[in-house]
Amino acid sequence: DIQMTQSPSSLSASVGDRVTITCRASQGISSWLAWYQQKPGKAPKSLIYTTSSLQSGVPSRFSGSGSGTDFTLTISSLQPEDFATYYCQQYSTYPLTFGGGTKVEIK
């Protein structure tokens, strides 16, 4: 199975900060990587697919990059509604696997 490792597991940031979350795959997954946002008690929300394509309706302050084994999610200017947990997911190979999550908290 492909292991997905996210870092950091949590971070504290202020509104307006630039935030970067990394995700590393245990083997190459080409560009088959997605990012999801989850708020407490809510279902995950799709943000980015195929590494860098924004899901419809997602603000442009979110961006993704990378290929192969190393990927990043960047929030260019953190907004109050962005405080949440973020998960990466590879869909190159079954079983589909998720990273452990990165919780973005208010500083």
Partner 1 sequence: EVQLLESGGGLVQPGGSLRLSCAASGFTFSSYAMRWVRQAPGKGLEWVSGIRGSGGSTYYGDSVKGRFTISRDNSKNMLYLQMNSLRAEDTAVYYCARDWGDSSGYCDHWGQGTLVTVSS
The site for partner 1 (CB under 8 A) is made up of: 1, 32, 34, 36, 38, 42-46, 49-50, 55, 87, 89, 91-92, 94-101
- Nearest distance from residue 36's CB to partner 1, in Å? 7
Which pair of tokens denotes residue 66?
């990378």
Of residues 17 and 93, the one with the C-beta less far from partner 1? 93
Compute CA distances 41 → 18, 37, 38, 59, 84, whole Å. 26, 12, 8, 22, 11
Decide: helix, strand or coil at residue 28: coil
Q: How far is the CB of 35 from partner 1 (least distance, A)?
A: 10
* Least Cβ distance, residue 16 to partner 1 (angstroms): 28
Indicate the residue among 11 and 96 with the shorter CB distance to partner 1: 96
Query: CB of 15: closest distance to partner 1 in angstroms?
Result: 26
